[in-house]
Each structure stands twice: as structure tokens, then as C-alpha cells.
Amino acid sequence: MIAFELKTEKSSTSVLSKDDIGQGLNHHEWLKKQYPEIKLIGLIFLTDTRLVSDKATPSKMMYFGSQQTLRKVWDEFLATVERIRPKTQMERFIEAGKIGELSEWSTEGIFKRLIDGKMT
């Protein structure tokens, strides 16, 4: 599973505060308790800033991401859907299965494409 913490109101010069990071830590723990059977790969803060307060202590599982990076992956997904849409139902089923086996469309692959960097 990939978790997101939305801090989209932060500008590139904003700083993620101790409280912002604390919310992320709480979110992370809640997900682990609610879904213990699902591996949490990481928590992506969707934000334009890359600054974290010296008072904050982000987890090693916290990463920076942006709306632009998310949009790029979304657009790639939509392009893939549009590419296979004209095919017959059986051809779409087969093609979708092949695409689903590609590493870039695995949960880990999508995660790697969504992150812009680690917080720590």
C-alpha cells in the first residue's frame, strides 16, 4: 500500500512543521493498525516544499512527492487505457494482464515513480 499525506497548500518556500510530520506519523501508524495484512511501502507527502523543520523527525518511510509527479503517472495510466481501448474485450483483457505484470505498474514501481526524494 502507498499512503499519501496532502500538504498541497504548502509553497516551495514553506517548511513542513513538527505538527505536519506528526500528522504523517499518526497516519502511518493508523494504516498499520487498520490494515496489518497489507505491507505499507511508504508515506508520500504531496507538496511543493522540500523543507522540513529542524524540530521534526520524519520516519525513514516518509518521502516527498508532488501533484505534478502524480499527474504524470496518472497521464501515463490514461494513455495506456486509451491505447488498449480500441481492442476487443478479449484483447484488452490479455493486454491489461501483460501490462499489470510490468514492474513499473507494480505497487513498488508506481511508488518509485511517485516519489521525488526521501525526507531523511
Mean pLDDT of the region 94-106: 95
d(CA 18, CA 51): 12
Asked if residue 47 has pLDDT above 90, the reply is yes
Alpha carbon separation from 4 to 18, 19, 27 (Å, rounded): 17, 16, 9
Asked if residue 19 has pLDDT above 90, the reply is yes
Asked if residue 26 has pLDDT above 90, the reply is yes
Q: Could you tell me the pTM of the whole model?
A: 0.89
Query: What's the pLDDT score for residue 65?
Result: 97
Mean pLDDT of the region 23-40: 96
Strand partners, 4: 44
Domain positions in the chain: 2-118
- How does pLDDT run across 59-71, given as a tens digit for each residue? 999 999 999 999 9
State the residue for C-alpha cell 516519489. 115
In this structure, are residues 115 and 42 in contact, taking their beta carbons and an 8 Å threshold? yes
pLDDT-based confidence at residue 107 (cuts at 50, 70, 90)? very high
Query: What's the pLDDT score for residue 120?
Result: 85
